[in-house]
Chain A
Amino acid sequence: MITLDGLTKRYGGKTAVSDLSFEIRPGKVTGFLGPNGAGKSTTMRMIVGLDAPTAGRALVAGKRYAELRHPMREVGALLDARAGHPGRSARHHLLGLARSNGIPASRVAEVLEIVGLGEVARKRIGSFSLGMGQRLGIAGALLGDPKVLLFDEPVNGLDPDGVRWVRELMRSLAAEGRTIFVSSHLMSEMQDTADHLLVIGRGRIIADAPIEDVIAGSSLTAVRVRTPEPGTLGRALERAGMSVEASSGELIVVGGTMEQIGDLAFEQRVRVHELSMRKASLEQAYMELTAASVEYGSPNRRA
């Protein structure tokens, strides 16, 4: 469990993170979304004590990160693919980390196998590709078998196989009851991975809800109705407070469930040939949510 309490970070006059308060619960993958510069990385860095908050605090299992005797056994974090000295071997990199937190040296070979770097354990980190560096960072995060894991853009540089592996890893870690907090720019990836979403923009929380609710809340989530009498049904739906858009023999209805629409059609004695959900993608829902808070956006941005 991660608790943020009024967490704030200012750099000079610019506020990067503004009064964030929320809890990230165990047993779930919580996705952390927001435009570039929204404060995602800064928030994660404050959780692990790399950056000091200007105000407020971030707690892990009720303690500040620096108060944890064995931080790596409580929190694993992948914040940066450039995690180790390029001249050091992967094995020595992890061995040092293990020693610092009283983790058995035998765990090093274990995590290297888990992330698929077993064969290059003795190779120098400098010779690794971005994807291998990312895997090594994940190995470091898993080293202490922690209950809480933070991943900042974990699929950067990974091939499709690696992306899928990360997704499955996160799902299984969450299923073991761990707290997983992951940021990503890849919406399709989040849609498949996260249970809960935390969306921030300009340092503030825009949404904190289960992923299903975020998608359902989008104006692009609608019901498609095909009927030979669109006029009659359309007027009835509008009277019921839904917004209706007619297009080539079908109606796109926002603001009502399939049940409500079906019942209304029955009352009006209108025949219906098709009634189907048109779900917004997470990307569409996200674009709508953050449209107002893009830091470095292009001017002709459409939701």
Chain B
Amino acid sequence: MTTTTVPRGGGFKGAVAFEWTKLRSVRATWWNLAMGLLLTVGFAAMVGSSAAASAAKGVDVTMPAPHHASQAFLISQLTVVVLATLALTGEYSSGSIRTTLQSVPVRGRMLLSKTLVVAAAVVVAGFVFSVLGSLVAAPLMGAPGDYSAGQLFGTALGAGLYLALLAVMCVGLGAVLRSAAGTITTLILVLLAVPQLLGVIGSSWLESFADFMPGEAGAVLMTGADDPYGAPVALLVLVLWGLASFAAGLTALRRRDA
């Protein structure tokens, strides 16, 4: 712990330090991270051993283990959604948003510092989860899962960035909806339900729209695939989702009384 004895302080740096103190001092943050780790590693082990079983039946499952293991995030991303959503909506449910805005009255500064702190924590978590998930899945997969160090870190970096931008969306949307239930439900729809539905309808226009949903872009970013587009486009798609949510959150925060 560092002791801030600087007489000036405050401003944006102060706001960031404030948000970091808040994030790390509630148990929900650590519970969510622990759950995220457990789910990632657990599902990575599952997909790893099912690939091994398929290989034993003669099915070609050749795929670098980190790419294969990244399917685990389909489930474990939800812990990140909860973590990031609660970081903002928890302030509304507890009433602490009023204290927060009294100490950081500039709305944009508050939202930006909260977004950055949550995203930074999630980047690290996503990277670590991915590496550990890959290391668990690889020995289970055996030879078909051979991978390079570049693939291991590439996927981990992709996972970190994808989850961080997902967290940005949660904070932005949380500022609009001000409710954990509403925000989490919306995100689950966007991540899981809507892409499925768009695929079922069978219109080619809707299917290509589904390609630009955040979950699909995240999968591209983590596996370095080049279909339907490459990693740079995937990153751009996610950044746009993040920016749009942030802008919506900022507008709501500025317009409405706290």
Question: Which of B3, B22, B28, B98 touches A106 (beta carbons < 8 Å)?
Answer: B3
Q: Is the CB of B94 within 8 A of A85?
A: yes
Q: Is A207 an interface residue (CB 8 A)?
A: no
How distant is B204 from chain A, measured CB to nearest CB, in Å?
A: 47
Q: Is A127 an interface residue (CB 8 A)?
A: no
Q: In this complex, what residue of B is CB-closest to A64?
A: B105
The answer for the CA separation of A221 and B133 in the assembled complex, in Å, is 81
- Name the interface residues of B50-106: CB closer than 8 Å to any CB of A: 90-91, 94-96, 98-99, 101-106
Contacts of B96 in A (CB 8 A): 82-85, 93
Q: Is the CB of B98 within 8 A of A92?
A: no
The answer for the CA separation of A86 and B101 in the assembled complex, in Å, is 18
The answer for the CA separation of A97 and B99 in the assembled complex, in Å, is 8
Q: Is A206 an interface residue (CB 8 A)?
A: no
Question: Which of B4, B91, B101, B106 touches A99 (beta carbons < 8 Å)?
Answer: B4
Q: Is A105 an interface residue (CB 8 A)?
A: yes
Contacts of A89 in B (CB 8 A): 25
Q: Is B258 an interface residue (CB 8 A)?
A: yes
Contacts of B5 in A (CB 8 A): 104-106
Q: Is the CB of A49 within 8 A of B105?
A: yes
Question: Which of B11, B14, B17, B22 touches A88 (beta carbons < 8 Å)?
Answer: B22
How distant is B130 from chain A, measured CB to nearest CB, in Å?
A: 28
Q: Tell me if A's interface is mostly helix, strand, loop or mixed.
A: loop
Q: Is A48 an interface residue (CB 8 A)?
A: yes
The answer for the CA separation of A250 and B26 in the assembled complex, in Å, is 68
Q: Is B6 an interface residue (CB 8 A)?
A: yes
With A66-B105, A86-B94, A87-B27 in contact, is A140–B99 under 8 Å at CB?
yes
With A84-B94, A84-B96 in contact, is A100–B104 under 8 Å at CB?
yes
Q: Is the CB of A85 within 8 A of B21?
A: no
Q: Is B202 an interface residue (CB 8 A)?
A: no
Question: Which of A66, A68, A99 touches B17 (beta carbons < 8 Å)?
Answer: A99
Q: In this complex, what residue of A is CB-closest to B6?
A: A102
The answer for the CA separation of A51 and B102 in the assembled complex, in Å, is 11
Contacts of A51 in B (CB 8 A): 257-258
Contacts of A72 in B (CB 8 A): 102-103
Q: Tell me if B's interface is mostly helix, strand, loop or mixed.
A: helix
- Name the interface residues of A149-198: CB closer than 8 Å to any CB of B: none
With A52-B257, A66-B106, A104-B4 in contact, is A83–B95 under 8 Å at CB?
yes
Q: In this complex, what residue of B is CB-closest to A83?
A: B99
Q: Is the CB of B21 within 8 A of A96?
A: yes
Q: Is B7 an interface residue (CB 8 A)?
A: yes
Q: Is the CB of A100 within 8 A of B101?
A: no
Among A75, A84, A93, A99: residue with most chain B CB under 10 A:
A99
Q: Is the CB of A50 within 8 A of B25?
A: no
Contacts of B102 in A (CB 8 A): 48-50, 71-72, 75, 77, 79
Q: Is B18 an interface residue (CB 8 A)?
A: yes
Q: Is the CB of A85 within 8 A of B4?
A: no
Q: Is the CB of A85 within 8 A of B10?
A: no
How distant is B11 from chain A, measured CB to nearest CB, in Å?
A: 7
Q: What 1/0 mask marks residues of chain B from 231 to 258 whose CB sits below 8 Å from any chain A CB?
A: 0000000000000000000000000011
Question: Which of A65, A75, A83, A85 touches B98 (beta carbons < 8 Å)?
Answer: A83
With A82-B94, A89-B25 in contact, is A102–B258 under 8 Å at CB?
no
Q: Is A279 an interface residue (CB 8 A)?
A: no
The answer for the CA separation of A86 and B25 in the assembled complex, in Å, is 11
The answer for the CA separation of A66 and B258 in the assembled complex, in Å, is 14
Contacts of A93 in B (CB 8 A): 25, 96
With A102-B8, A104-B3 in contact, is A50–B21 under 8 Å at CB?
no
Q: In this complex, what residue of B is CB-closest to A75?
A: B102
Query: Interface residues, chain A, CB within 8 Å of chain B?
Result: 45, 48-52, 65-66, 68-72, 75, 77, 79-80, 82-89, 92-93, 95-106, 140
- Taking A77-B102, A80-B95, A95-B21 as known contacts, 13 extra A-B pairs with beta carbons closer than 8 A to each other, sorted by chain A number, are A50-B101, A50-B257, A71-B102, A84-B94, A85-B22, A85-B90, A86-B94, A87-B28, A92-B21, A92-B22, A98-B4, A102-B4, A102-B9
What are some 29 contacts across the A-B interface (CB < 8 A)? A49-B105, A50-B257, A50-B258, A66-B106, A68-B105, A71-B103, A77-B102, A79-B102, A82-B96, A84-B99, A86-B94, A87-B26, A88-B25, A88-B26, A89-B25, A92-B25, A95-B25, A96-B22, A97-B18, A99-B4, A99-B18, A100-B103, A101-B14, A101-B103, A102-B9, A102-B14, A103-B9, A104-B5, A105-B5
